[in-house]
Structures are given as structure tokens and as C-alpha cells.
């Protein structure tokens, strides 16, 4: 980063950005799991429905964490 901010100052900001991104990912995982369980439960019987919902929720949460983390770190 070439904005003149000392490196020691940017470190905590980056940690805060990734921590926020992890929170966004966990919220995304929770919402995707709840909605996905309802939808997948209607399409498939147990255990396939909840398993599919969980796998898709984990993928959505991971993607949300990585995307928002990169975006937030770039802003710091």
C-alpha cells in the first residue's frame, strides 16, 4: 500500500477486516443452511436433503468470507 500508512497500523486493520469477513461468512452460512434445508428437504428425503443443504451452505459461507475479506482488506 502506498498511501503512507505505516505497516504497523495496517496489520490490525487487516485483522479486523478478516474478522468482519468471517462474521459475514457465518451469517451467510446460517441463512443459507436454514433456507437450503427447507428447499432441499422438499426435494430429497433424509439424509440427502439436509446433507445437500449443509454442503451448499458451507460453500456459500466460504465464498462470502473470501470475497468480503478480499474486498475489505483492499479498503484498509
So where are the chain's domains? 13-75
pLDDT tens, per residue, the chain with 76 residues:
456 666 666 788 889 999 999 999 999 999 999 999 999 988 988 889 999 999 999 999 999 999 999 999 998 7
d(CA 31, CA 58): 11
Gap between the terminal Cα atoms of the chain: 9
Q: What local confidence, expressed as pLDDT, does residue 31 receive?
A: 96
Q: Which of 4, 62, 5, 3 is nearest to 29 (CA)?
A: 62
Q: What local confidence, expressed as pLDDT, does residue 75 receive?
A: 85
Q: What local confidence, expressed as pLDDT, does residue 41 receive?
A: 87
Amino acid at each position: 500500500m502506498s498511501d503512507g500508512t505505516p505497516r504497523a497500523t495496517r496489520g490490525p486493520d487487516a485483522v479486523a477486516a478478516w474478522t468482519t469477513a468471517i462474521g459475514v461468512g457465518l451469517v451467510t452460512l446460517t441463512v443459507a443452511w436454514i433456507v437450503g434445508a427447507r428447499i432441499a428437504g422438499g426435494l430429497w428425503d433424509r439424509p440427502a436433503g439436509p446433507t445437500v443443504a449443509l454442503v451448499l451452505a458451507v460453500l456459500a459461507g466460504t465464498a462470502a468470507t473470501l470475497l468480503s475479506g478480499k474486498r475489505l482488506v483492499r479498503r484498509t
